[in-house]
Amino acid sequence: MRLKLPMWGFCALAVFMNLLLSNFFMNFLRLPIFLDTVFTAAIVFAFGLVPGMFVAVFSWLLPCLYFGGFHFFVICSIAEVFLLWALKPAAPAIPCFASGERIIASYTGLAARLVVLYIACAMAVSVLGGVIDYATRLFPEIHLRYFSPEDTFRPALVMADLPLVAENILVRVPVNLADRFIVVFGGYFASRGLLKLARRKTGQPPPKGGAAQSGAAKSGAAD
């Protein structure tokens, strides 16, 4: 497949952009959101599971090698890659000279599927992150390695006298509802640009009717 030629170069660039974006928002802007998987999502949408897993692992491995230690929260990124791959929507199959209603319906369906994927990722990352955080609290020497911006919301739940694992999950929900929206929607639209650039680099023309529509065209021909 000709798209494989630039694919790993895009993966390496995605790792760099994940680290840059995460550092910019966490350390420069001091915003308590995780945006270190935006380009992981873009790679999954554009190229599939294995390249997305590569980007997810190396986006965590490089900081581990630089700062030392092992970041257990990479499990959240790996789970998110599987969700993005399993539930990713295809680009709308819009034929030439489609009516306005057809175009609106196609993009409304795409938006709905992305919303479902966004909610699924936010909930999955909240649950996994909460369980991992709870587990690391049993070992203070490990837990102190992590910066946890979700702790900003912890005082609001302390008075509720919830079990610690439930508290760890719930404090993550507001943060993950914010950052997973950017990850899923931003990653999807970035993937459209990646595919166009990859096809331009390899000289491969885009499918008629838009990217990622060849499967729809084939199924229509079979009917």
**Per-residue pLDDT tens for 167-222?**
889 888 988 999 999 999 999 999 998 888 887 766 555 444 333 443 344 334 44
pLDDT tens for each residue of 106-151 = 888 899 999 999 999 999 999 999 898 888 777 766 554 555 667 6
Residue 13: exposed, middle, or buried by beta-carbon count in 10 A (0-12, 13-18, 19+)?
middle
Give the CA count within 13 Å in the CB-facing half-sphere of 208.
5
- Provide the angle, in degrees to the nearest 10, between the axes of the packed helices 4-23 and 187-202: 140
Prediction pTM value: 0.80
pLDDT tens for each residue of 35-52 = 889 999 999 999 999 999
> What is the rounded distance in angstroms from the CA atom of residue 122 to the CA atom of residue 181?
8
Most confident segment among 68-72, 81-85, 168-172 = 81-85
**Is pLDDT larger for residue 165 or for residue 100?**
165
Burial code (b: 16+ CB inside 10 Å, e: under 16) for 187-218 equals bbebbbebbeebbeeeeeeebebbbbbeebee
Q: Which residues contact 160 (CB under 8 A, 6 or more apart)?
A: 167
Q: Domains of the chain by range and CATH?
A: 4-209 (1.10.1760)
Q: How far is CA 97 from CA 91, 93, 103, 214, in A?
A: 17, 12, 10, 18
> What is the rounded distance in angstroms from the CA atom of residue 79 to the CA atom of residue 101?
36
